[in-house]
Amino acid sequence: MSSFLLKKIISLIITLFVATGVIFILIEVVPGDPVAFMMGLSGSTEAADALRIELGLNVGPWARYVDWVWGMVNGNFGISYTYRVPVIELIRERALVSVPLTVYALFLSTAIAIPAGLISASRRGSLVDTSFMGVAQLGVAIPNFWFAILLVLFFSTTLKLFSASGFPGWDAGFLICLKALTLPAISLALPQAAILSRVMRSSALEVMNEDYIRTARAKGLNKNQALLRHGLRNAMIPVLTILGLQFSFLLAGGIIIESVFSLPGLGRLVFQSIVQRDLIVVKSIVTLLVFSVVFITFIVDLLYAAVDPRLREGN
């Protein structure tokens, strides 16, 4: 087990290093000079040089890369070019919207998909199964931002149940904020729930053919009892992998959904920063999102090994 863990940790660290390298190279070859952009046309050369020193842009790329990575290790992401505040503070503020949205959507997606997949599997071929899978087929094909627009049309314009956009801020109270995040979370969750329920269904069907389910049935459990008590844990293994993958889809998808609903999250910040050429913010957010994806994959690998002892043996 420990050699397995060691191998995984080493590969995690290498991935993170290469990823930061790729991000750094891509953002540093940018044609636009942030200093020239900030100074505008009227800036003098001396002022520009002073700003370059202030922002640490006066040294070579290697030194900047090392500084950047070392800074991040210490929780210092640098200063935003346009907002002139530490990037970490900007991110913290926006993450308070994005992270709850992602978690909310992940919760909804799981809460819908796992029961739906299990019911479909246990009544395979029935009308329920056919209609669930039909809806899932449709759900995979619907772009989440279009679904979001339809939700706004129906729930905000016609029924007037939810506001069409905006976020009141957590000071306004937990429930009010939860309500503001509900439509965005539903539109994020739908396509993921569609995929997840299909995986859950096929995984449960596969498990139901196993010998131990037949044994359980022979001992007198009915089909559903056997599936829930003996099959579910085994059937969850592929579902777990997909859940890990979905986290990254939800984070990225959140970027778009945030702009549909004008939520002040990380996605909006990224787009604003691109327009303003505030590349240090873009760099930091992309890095953080990539880190979280890599880290979640790492955790899923470990969970996998915890669930299935065969994986610890090295293969």
Partner 1 sequence: MKHFSISFIVGGGLTTLFIIAAILSFFWTPYDVELLNIKGKFATPGFEHLMGTDHFGRDILSMVMVGTRNAIAVSLIAVGIGAAIGVPLGLWAAATCMNGSRIIDELLMRGNDLIFAFPSLLLAIMITAVFGPSIINAIIAIGIFNIPVFARVSRGAALSIWPKEYISAARVAGKGSTRISYEHILPNILNLLIVQATIQFSIAIIAEASLSYVGLGSQPPDPSLGRMLNEAQTMIFFAPWLAYFPGGAIVALVLGFNLMGDGMRDILDPKLRQRSETGKASNDAS
Q: Output the smallest distance, CB 60 to partner 1, in A.
A: 20
Closer Cβ to partner 1, 150 or 307, answer by number: 150
Q: Output the smallest distance, CB 276 to partner 1, in A.
A: 11
Closer Cβ to partner 1, 129 or 169, answer by number: 129
Residues 247-286 contacting partner 1, CB under 8 A: 248-249, 251-253, 255-256, 259-260, 270-271, 273-274, 279, 282, 286
User: How big is the chain by its Cα radius of gyration, in Å?
Assistant: 24
Q: Output the smallest distance, CB 186 to partner 1, in A.
A: 16
Question: How far apart (Å, rounded) are the C-alpha atoms in residues 147 and 64?
Answer: 43
Specify the stretch interacting with partner 1 by CB under 8 A; choose among 22-30, 90-98, 215-223, 225-233.
22-30
Q: Residue holding tokens 């029961």?
A: 115
Closer Cβ to partner 1, 7 or 92, answer by number: 7
Closer Cβ to partner 1, 130 or 224, answer by number: 130
| Phi, psi (rounded to 5 degrees) for 79 | -110, 135
Closer Cβ to partner 1, 83 or 271, answer by number: 271
Report if residue 140 touches partner 1, rule: CB under 8 A: yes
- Listed residue (238, 182, 250) closest to 207, CA to CA: 238
- Listed residue (158, 154, 144) closest to 188, CA to CA: 144
Report if residue 142 touches partner 1, rule: CB under 8 A: yes
| Phi, psi (rounded to 5 degrees) for 86 | -60, 135
**For residue 45, how many C-alpha atoms fall within 13 Å in the half-sphere facing its CB?**
0
From the number of C-beta atoms within 10 Å of its C-beta (0-12, 13-18, 19+), residue 53 rates as: exposed
- Cβ pair 77, 87 in contact under 8 A: yes
CA 277 to centroid of chain Cα atoms:
24
Binding positions for partner 1, rule: CB under 8 A: 11, 14-15, 18-19, 22-23, 26-27, 29-31, 137-138, 140-143, 145-146, 149-150, 152-153, 157, 195, 198-199, 202-203, 205-206, 209, 238, 241-242, 245, 248-249, 251-253, 255-256, 259-260, 270-271, 273-274, 279, 282, 286, 289-290, 293-294, 297
